[in-house]
Structure 1
Amino acid sequence: MSATLRSIHRYPVKSCRGESLADAAVEPWGLAGDRRWMFVDPDGDALTAREVHGLLLVRPEETAYGVRLHAPGAEPLDVALPAGAERVTAHLWGSVLDVAVAGPDADDWSTRVLGRPARLVHLDDPAQRPTDPRFSDADDRVSLADGYPLLVTTEASLAALDDAVLERSQETHQPAGEPLGMTRFRPNLVVAGTSAWAEDDWRRVQVGDVVLRAVKGCARCVMTTVDPDTAERGREPIASLARIRRWDGATWFGVNLVPDLTGLPAGAPPPVVRVGDPVVVLEAAAPGGGPVRPA
């Protein structure tokens, strides 16, 4: 079976629930509308689901004028794109960003829902944040994703991981629970029709008409152990990934991508990926070396 794009996912607010899309425009810093909003504390430091698990229960919905926020036990809040008059400095993984403040209504809602002082901010200029230069080009940019514009995963690799979780549960005489599901890995693109871990070897891949550079494997953190439906923390998938996907002191699942949009005419609309698009590997490394990672 040839590889195809099975699903597309956008996360309007960092660390919150995602939206499944039939198609999406691909901008230099990621899918259009992906991770352009973020919650910060009073000092401007990013709040993520690594520490604030309840963020995973907040469901953003992109609208024509901004974003609508849903959360358990709270009335939905409509937030307009801020005009940008009020600005603060935000901090995210070493990046110092100039961002627009959503306003007092959003701050009040955020504080009530998260149970701690919080503000909602918007990255209206995504061109200001560079990617990690060790794995990408000097002019590559990323919005509020952790490090790179896009993350790709494959159904075959998730199936292999689920098998490993089941095997570990049998060895340790613990309940296996439900299959992990792709949601907790928060990919932008999910590909069907590959072998397990084939994405480790990709270096350039074409999805529909869009060419993407595969620049680095994705090292997985404690956030993947938080159930996205309940916000409760467990041991998987890190426990099983540590058995089958451990290199250099980290565990790996998925590959980070950077759009290669060179050659587009000036002023041209961004290219679009669509569910069902063929996925073609243009360049690949020798198999078996694991994902690209720090030397």
Structure 2
Amino acid sequence: MLGDNARVNTTIVVSTAAALVAAAVVTTWWQRRRRESGRMPTKWRRVGELAELRIYPLKSGAALTLKEAECTDIGVRTTGDEAVKLRDRFFIVINEAGVMKTCRQHPKLFFIKVASGEAGTVIFRAPDMKDLTVRIPSGTPERKNYFEMWKEEKSESVDCGDEAAEWMHKFLNLKEDDKVRLGYHQEDVIPRRDCDKKPWSLFRKQYNRLMRYDTGAFSDMAPYLLINEASVSDMNSRIPSGKQVAPSWFRPNFVVRGASPLAEDDWNYIKIGDNAVFQNFKPCLRCVVTTMDPETAVKDPQMQPLKTLRGYRLLKDAKKQQLEGELAPAMGCYMGLRQSGTVRVGDPIYVGERAR
């Protein structure tokens, strides 16, 4: 009997030790992978050039096409002599129940343009509406709005006032009891979105290049989105109806020209121009917004190009599928900034060479 107990105890000890060793090996491998992915390359290979550069000052609003921009850790910012530097997705429309309003529910948001105004102001323009001048909030806010973003992420914004709220309500043609507010990302007031907290902490377990503050102001997730023009052309060739969509349907910040189709899947570090360096930390998973023409706000009746993308661009990893959705196809790269700089249309785009 004692011998049997001894054998059982020995088996338990050996099994426990083996489990601990396996856990240590996995942990060491994961830590090494993180360190290696965080090393800035010393050699670069040219893969194309920057063909298009855009920001969307209002989340789900019209794109502002740029020739030059400054890259900051929270996203693209305009350069030049204008009194107010516009930034990517720094304004957002939310309702008083704490739910964000996007083009998924309100396609008319596509038509709202934002321009720099006189000192301390921006101008919102929309068809058949009088221009709205909004003073950029500063100092201690009179009102903050609390709401949920994608994946039930808790967020907040500084309120832009009753006039802006009424303007948005009127343009979106909302019901009387569906009140909305215009929110602004005031950097010295609004906490930085943190990938160590849910929901993004779950993503960090699956994507080892995702760093703690790889988030934009009010973008769904990342501060930067890159689209490969050749990947869009390749996708267009697969759409049965012959329908052609432009890279703008995917609402990117950067469009690269000259690369091979889907080459971006394998890129890690990406440099644009002389100084700005980014890291591709995950593919961008696409939703129904890609079926909406940004010029007309009309949804494609055949659900293209989303339907075609689902035929060949679904994630293959089961854990990532469970996290992001089984029917969400990939197109484009989510990127975090690793070195700031100014980028210009026509700049060469490089990828870091792997150490050998």
What TM-score results when the alignment is normalised by the length of structure 2? 0.71
Q: Alignment partner of 2:61: what SS?
A: coil
8 A contact 1:152–1:189 mirrored in 2: yes
Counterparts of 1:120 and 1:44 in 2: how far apart (Å)? 12
1:246 deviates by: 2.2
Aligned length: 268
Which one of the candidate residues 342, 346, 349 is aligned to 1:272? Answer: 342
Alignment pair present for 1:90 and 2:164? no
Alignment pair present for 1:181 and 2:246? yes
Does 74-83 or 198-207 show the bigger shift? 74-83
1:112 deviates by: 0.2
Which one of the candidate residues 298, 304, 313 is aligned to 1:236? Answer: 304
Aligned partner of 1:225 in structure 2 is 291
Aligned partner of 2:184 in structure 1 is 122
Q: Deviations over 1:2-27 (max 9, x none)?
A: 51111110000001111011111111
For residues 67-78 of structure 1, the aligned pairs below 5 Å read 67-78=122-133
Which one of the candidate residues 219, 223, 235 is aligned to 1:149? Answer: 223
8 A contact 1:205–1:283 mirrored in 2: no
1:284 deviates by: 6.4
Which one of the candidate residues 94, 99, 111 is aligned to 1:40? Answer: 94
Counterparts of 2:153 and 2:307 in 1: how far apart (Å)? 30
Aligned partner of 2:233 in structure 1 is 159
Counterparts of 2:254 and 2:191 in 1: how far apart (Å)? 22
Structure 1: unaligned runs, 5 residues or longer: 170-175, 262-269, 286-295
Aligned partner of 1:112 in structure 2 is 170
Counterparts of 2:354 and 2:168 in 1: how far apart (Å)? 44
Runs of 4+ in 1 over 4 A off after TM superposition: none
8 A contact 2:192–2:213 mirrored in 1: no
Counterparts of 2:270 and 2:191 in 1: how far apart (Å)? 23
1:230 deviates by: 1.7
Aligned partner of 1:257 in structure 2 is 335
Q: Alignment partner of 1:90: what SS?
A: strand
8 A contact 2:278–2:335 mirrored in 1: yes
Counterparts of 1:201 and 1:188 in 2: how far apart (Å)? 19
8 A contact 1:201–1:284 mirrored in 2: no
Q: 1:210 to 1:82 in 2, by over 3 A?
A: same
Higher strand share: 1
Counterparts of 2:96 and 2:213 in 1: how far apart (Å)? 31
1:114 deviates by: 0.9
What TM-score results when the alignment is normalised by the length of structure 1? 0.85
Q: 1:46 to 1:68 in 2, by over 3 A?
A: same
Aligned partner of 2:313 in structure 1 is 245
Counterparts of 1:130 and 1:254 in 2: how far apart (Å)? 22
Higher helix share: 2
Counterparts of 1:130 and 1:99 in 2: how far apart (Å)? 15
1:61 deviates by: 2.2
Aligned partner of 2:73 in structure 1 is 28
Counterparts of 1:105 and 1:194 in 2: how far apart (Å)? 46
Aligned partner of 2:134 in structure 1 is 79
Q: Alignment partner of 1:259: what SS?
A: strand
Counterparts of 2:290 and 2:156 in 1: how far apart (Å)? 29
Q: Alignment partner of 2:290: what SS?
A: helix
Structure 2: unaligned runs, 5 residues or longer: 1-45, 78-86, 316-320
8 A contact 2:281–2:336 mirrored in 1: yes
If you compute each CA radius of gyration, which structure gives the higher value, 1 or 2?
2
Aligned AA (1:112): K
1:85 deviates by: 2.3
8 A contact 2:193–2:213 mirrored in 1: no
